[in-house]
Structure 1
Amino acid sequence: MTTDDADRGDDLVDDGEDGSPADRTKEELRRTRERLGEGADKAVKGFDDNVVDLLAWLLDTETRARIYVYLRENPRSTSDEVADGTGLYPSTVREALAELHDEGTVSRGKREADGAGNNPYEYEAIAPSELVRGVVGDVQAELNAVFNLDRRLGGESAEGDDEPVQISVAGADGNGDGETDPSGDDADGENAADDGDTDR
């Protein structure tokens, strides 16, 4: 019997001080809600940690991932607000924001302010689907290099390699962006000369 079981058993024993059975039931429901809430908080934290880990892979560092997540939740934030919200050093945040802006992962604009003084930049992060589109080409090229390894090891030219892997990313609305990519694929990821061997 665990300590929690003993506590619950003690709660259910009528010692004359706890009141009516209805009061005891309400107290048990309250404790159950607290335990469920604690479990939900742990699950959400675990999910958040996994998202940050994935974004750290996409964005190179956990620091950049934390800044990205903060800006998705709090668009139009200044570097000082990002530093306060993430607990990162202001100089680290400024440096990371400058890199993310140069890469096109965040956009920035001057904050409108009344009166004299320096108007700081406010930052917004691009949508996750755009972030993924940015790395899809690199991942696709690396996967295709692996698929065509036998041809390359046989001394044949890398030119003319088939591209068995084609990755398309749908936007938040579930549709492709409607643009044709350089490989000749349409937004649905289907090649006009598709041989029908695989379902992509």
Structure 2
Amino acid sequence: MADEDTQTDETGGDEEIQSARDRLEEGADKAIGEFDQSVVDLLAWLLDTETRARIYVYLRQNPDSTSEEVAEGTGLYPSTVREALAELHDETTVMRGKRESAGAGNNPYEYEAISPSELVSEAVGQVQNQLNAVFNLDERLSRGQDGSDDGPVTISVSGGSADAPAPADEEDSDDTE
């Protein structure tokens, strides 16, 4: 009888461990899903739409993909993907080149997304210009649309790639009177 109690306790212990593992895995999956959605939300803000953000993330994970592969991998409609890729290419957020194939037939474009540091550098410039436009609103209103976007706001990003723009000199940003 003591053997049966020990066996039951061991089995019960294994079930508790498995249950704890299941709960941890569910929690981890939920956290990853929330993290992924947070990243997509941030990218959607930078790239204007969630569709474009999903395409960007897919291309970072799967460079040199065709529009068909992107559509299949993201679950988006092929026409939506083609339109978004054309816009992202025009904005230089993605690069494209012809896929080389040995056989005859058309060679589709394959796409690759720019690095996140390049994406942030471009966004920083846009935000800086918009903030300076707000600071210079009175000047713009009194002169019409000829007001400049130069102003007191200078945003610099550090810790990025070597391609990131250098911060402006203090003399350049101190031109306000």
Provide the TM-score with structure 1 as the length reference. 0.72
What is the correspondence of 1:9-28 to structure 2 with a 5 Å cutoff? 19-28=7-16
- Kindly indicate which of the two structures has a greater share of residues assigned to helix: 2
CA distance in 1: counterparts of 2:44 and 2:149, whole angstroms: 31
Which structure is richer in relative contact order (CA contacts within 8 A, separation 6 or more)? 2
CA distance in 2: counterparts of 1:160 and 1:95, whole angstroms: 33
Counterpart among 118, 126, 135 of residue 130 in structure 1? 118
* Secondary structure of 1:193 counterpart: helix
What is the correspondence of 1:185-200 to structure 2 with a 5 Å cutoff? 187=166, 189=167, 191-193=169-171
* Secondary structure of 2:110 counterpart: strand
**112-121 or 89-98, which deviates more:** 112-121
Say if 2:147 is the partner of 1:139: no
Structure 1 partner of 2:82: 94
- Once the two structures are TM-superposed, the CA of residue 22 in structure 1 deviates from its matched residue by 3.0
The gaps in structure 1 that reach 5 residues or longer are: 1-15, 180-186
* Secondary structure of 2:171 counterpart: coil
Contact 1:129 1:169 in 2 (8 A): no
What is the correspondence of 1:48-87 to structure 2 with a 5 Å cutoff? 48-87=36-75
Change (3 A) 1:77 1:163: same
* Secondary structure of 1:123 counterpart: strand
- Using the aligned pairs only, state the percent identity: 64
CA distance in 2: counterparts of 1:166 and 1:119, whole angstroms: 44
Structure 2 partner of 1:107: 95
CA distance in 2: counterparts of 1:175 and 1:113, whole angstroms: 33
AA at the equivalent of 2:52: R
What number of residue pairs does the alignment pair up?
Answer: 170
Change (3 A) 1:153 1:115: closer
Q: RMSD between aligned alpha carbons? A: 2.9
Structure 2 partner of 1:177: 163
- Once the two structures are TM-superposed, the CA of residue 142 in structure 1 deviates from its matched residue by 2.0
CA distance in 1: counterparts of 2:152 and 2:168, whole angstroms: 12
CA distance in 1: counterparts of 2:6 and 2:14, whole angstroms: 11
CA distance in 2: counterparts of 1:80 and 1:17, whole angstroms: 60
Change (3 A) 1:85 1:178: closer
The gaps in structure 2 that reach 5 residues or longer are: none
- Once the two structures are TM-superposed, the CA of residue 174 in structure 1 deviates from its matched residue by 3.8
1:38-88 CA distances to partner (integer Å, 9 max, x unpaired)? Answer: 011111111111211121121111111111111011111111100000111
What is the correspondence of 1:36-55 to structure 2 with a 5 Å cutoff? 36-55=24-43
Provide the TM-score with structure 2 as the length reference. 0.80
Change (3 A) 1:169 1:113: same
- Once the two structures are TM-superposed, the CA of residue 154 in structure 1 deviates from its matched residue by 9.7
